[in-house]
Amino acid sequence: MKSPTFAYERPQSLAEALALLAQKGADARPLAGGQSLIPMLALRLARPSVLVDLGRVEGLDELTLQDGVLVIGAMVRQRQLERNALVAEHLPLLVAATKVVGHPAIRNRGTLGGSLAHADPSAEYPAVALALDAEFVIQGPRGERVIPAQEFFLGPFTTALATDELLTSIRFPIPPTHSGWGMAEVARRHSDFALAGAVALLARADDGTCARAAIALFGVATRPLRATQAEQALVGRPFTTETFREVATLATESIDEPLSDVHGSAAYRRQLVPVVVRRALEEAAQRAAAR
Amino acid sequence: MERVPITVTVNGQTVSAEVEPRMTLADFLRDELGLTGTKLGCEHGVCGSCTVLWDGAAVRSCLVLAAQADGAAITTIEGLATEGQLHPVQQAFWEAHALQCGFCTPGMILTAVALLSEDANPSEQAIREALSGNLCRCTGYQNIVRAVQLAAERLRSSS
Ligand SMILES: Cc1cc2nc3c(=O)[nH]c(=O)nc-3n(C[C@H](O)[C@H](O)[C@H](O)COP(=O)(O)OP(=O)(O)OC[C@H]3O[C@@H](n4cnc5c(N)ncnc54)[C@H](O)[C@@H]3O)c2cc1C
Ligand code: FES
Ligand code: FES
């Protein structure tokens, strides 16, 4: 369980980090918190020849509110998100999601950007980013590009990032105040990866019906997904248990490539989907009502 | 392979060394500094037995490269006792029979120390959640939870 050998670089600036990635080619790998990459090295699932440690790169760990958008640097530690006052005020969903990402010792090192770039299909943050229509700011030798969450996650552990690019920040639009959020997951132990999970955001119209719905699933397919059929079926309907029950069953229709592994079969995970979706919707509806 | 120069404070003492990039903090502590109180169970982040404190916060030393720890202040189980006096959490583990083979104990104790430094009066649920990443194959956890409660009580009354 020891890693194979690799070289180690510790750039101080983004330009320096990008130059290293460009120069070392596909064998180089950025190192953020290391909470996924170091186990992969130990298990020899990854064999980069150079690690480019982002730990000292300036400007990647900022967290600011800009015109209704929370801009979070890729290197912001998960533990910081859990405790940041701006996040608590404007994006409590992100705090709730963070609390179930691994254990405190993992979150002390793990970063937001590392989790998103790692793109584990069972991870919480990718689904949160999808539900919130977050935008991913990417820097590379060809300059900056900004892509929507929908286009970032391509498959298991696969994203739209090229090997010479870095995710530098994530832009989370703050949901309108009259909306509510909910999150539910089923996992074997507290903080384990989910066997099925759902994130929901609901906006209520003046007549009490659903004005807008966003539902994202994780742990059930090879990448996080929006449950589009379920979302569409919910708009215009009243917030009742019957509606949620009915709509939740539709969520399984979005699963194109089901996830199946030793922790849970595809059939089992599929069975959990309506349960977690209904729970997330009920929680979101309560919060939308409480405002 | 080029070595990386690092300076780390371990249990209050400053140490400078040149390490191989792939060396984990756990191996550095154990093999270079002889601090074998830090245990290695899984070496890929799932058991928690290698937990140490990094600037006071719990981290898994098998999931950190020694090179990354440059500039950090690390506390291992060897650094908890002061002047021959066990740390209150160590004392409570002993008294509450919170260990059998003891392999998980350094990680459990350091995780508990980090928890109590942030939350002086954690609920049983909070203790269980904080320890959920640390595996014990012997005790069944009940006495570990009790030991943390006992230590919390004593730390509160002494401060
Ligand atoms: C025991 C345990 C339990 C866990 N439980 C959960 C859980 O329940 N839910 C969950 O979501 N996660 C869980 N994790 C994973 C954890 O959240 C990781 O911290 C996270 O997935 C990776 O973040 P990191 O900063 O450590 O990234 P690293 O491990 O450093 O990097 C991960 C990958 O992303 C790449 N990368 C990192 N940053 C960038 C960047 N800025 N630009 C481009 N590429 C980049 C790296 O090259 C690497 O391929 C768990 C981990 C452990 C060890
Ligand atoms: S040895 Fe580090 S977590 Fe198991
Ligand atoms: S006391 Fe033996 S593993 Fe915990």
Catalogue all structural domains in chain B, each as residue range(s) with its CATH number.
Answer: 4-78 (3.10.20.30), 88-158 (1.10.150.120)
What percentage of chain B exceeds 70 in pLDDT?
A: 99
pLDDT tens-place string over residues A75-97: 999 999 999 999 999 999 999 99
pLDDT over 90 (residue B149) = yes
Domain-wise residue ranges, chain A: 7-53, 63-173, 179-290
Query: B4 Cβ partners below 8 Å, 6+ apart?
Result: A8, A10, B18, B19, B20, B21, B66, B67, B70
Closest CA to A190 of A102, A96, A78: A102
Q: Looking at residues B115-133, what average pLDDT do you find?
A: 96
Nearest Cα residue to atom 20 of ligand 1: A115
Q: Which of residues 114-153 of B touch A (CB under 8 A)?
A: 114-115, 128-130, 132-133
pLDDT at A291: 55
By alpha-carbon position, which residue is closest to atom 1 of ligand 1? B46
* C-alpha–C-alpha distance, residues A109 and A202, integer Å: 32
Note whether A90 and A122 are within 8 A (CB).
Answer: no
**pLDDT score at A199:** 98
pLDDT of residue A26: 86
- pLDDT at residue A208 in the model: 87
Q: Do domains A7-53 and A179-290 have the same CATH topology?
A: no
- Give A43 to chain B, closest Cα distance, Å: 7
pLDDT, position B14: 98
- A7-53 is classed in which CATH architecture? 2-Layer Sandwich (3.30)
The pLDDT of residue A290: 67
Q: Give contacts of A 225-284 with B, CB under 8 A.
A: none
**pLDDT, tens digit, 9 for 90 and up, residues B42-87:** 999 999 999 999 999 999 999 999 999 999 999 999 999 999 999 9
A223 secondary structure, DSSP code: S
Residue B39 pLDDT > 90 = yes
Q: What is the Cβ-side half-sphere exposure of residue A235, based on CA atoms within 13 angstroms?
A: 10
Q: A63-173 has which fold?
A: 3.30.465
pLDDT at B66: 98
- Select the CATH number that applies to the domain covering A179-290 from these four: 3.40.50.300, 3.40.50.1820, 3.30.390.50, 3.40.50.720: 3.30.390.50
Atom of ligand 2 nearest to the CA of B50: 2
> Which residue numbers in chain A have pLDDT < 70?
290-291
- CA dist A63 and A74 (Å) reads 10
